[in-house]
Amino acid sequence: MRHHRNSENVNAGSMADIAFLLLIFFLVTTTISTDAGINRNLPAFCPTNDCATLTADNNVLRIVLNNSNDILMNNKLVPLNAISQQVSNFVNNNGDNSCSYCSGEQLLTASDNPQKAIISLEHNRQTSYELFIQVQNSISKAITDLREVYSQNNFRKSLSDLSSTEIEEVRKAYPLIISEVETN
């Protein structure tokens, strides 16, 4: 007579518990990286269907990034390091002499005041992502520098030391209005 040897059964009930505990451990201890994006506010909701307003040409600064990664500002080729200063001059122009805190040259070809200044950023699909981000950073730097000067002059504090109501006043004085257009 042959002996059949039965294999012993292993109690695997606690294996599920161990696997579950390991899963929880790795979920809790793992860091999830978040992508940094461009901090922009969406346009406000328009309650009526007639929200298109005409803007004077002098209040729009057109920046075009073409497929050769050239930067054209109002149809003139400019280097990347000149964008911040030119955006600052455009926004701070005070063309209509209504801005008491602006120190611009009051040129007829630049914005009437900071609230009317619009920066139109056009880019081609072949424009490099790095150039697009660098131009966005230059625009943001220009507005931040203007806000810092306003903060120092009006509140005698740095922009980072302002209260939330003071920050709101600074943002109203120098709003960041960017219109982004993608061309083919």
Rounded to 5 degrees, what are φ and ψ at 49?
A: -90, 0
d(CA 142, CA 81): 11
Q: Which residue has 């083919």 as its token pair?
A: 184
Q: Is 117 in contact with 102 (CB distance < 8 Å)?
A: no
Single-letter amino acid, residue 127? T
The pair of three-digit structure tokens given for residue 95, joined into one six-digit string: 């063309």
pLDDT, residue 64, reads: 92
Pairing verdict, β 178-183 and 118-124: parallel
Dihedral sign computed on CA atoms, order 13, 14, 15, 16:
positive
**For residue 39, pLDDT beyond 60:** yes
The predicted-structure confidence for 132-174, as pLDDT tens digits, reads as follows 989 999 999 999 999 999 999 999 999 889 899 999 999 999 9
Q: Residue 179: what pLDDT?
A: 84
The per-residue pLDDT for range 80-99, each reduced to its tens digit, is 999 999 999 999 988 888 88
Task: Name every residue whose Cβ is closer than 8 Å to that of residue 169 and which is 6 or more positions away in sequence.
Answer: 154
The confidence band for 1, taking pLDDT boundaries of 50, 70 and 90, is: low
63 has pLDDT over 90: yes
**Residue 96 identity:** D
Q: What is the mean pLDDT of residues 5-26?
A: 80
DSSP structure class, residue 31: -
Token pair of 138 as six digits: 């230059």
In the chain, where the domains are located: 57-183
| Cα 98 to Cα 7: distance, rounded to the nearest angstrom | 93
What's the CA gap between 89 and 72, in Å, rounded?
A: 16
The CA-atom distances, in angstroms, between 39 and each of 29, 140, 163 are 28, 10, 20
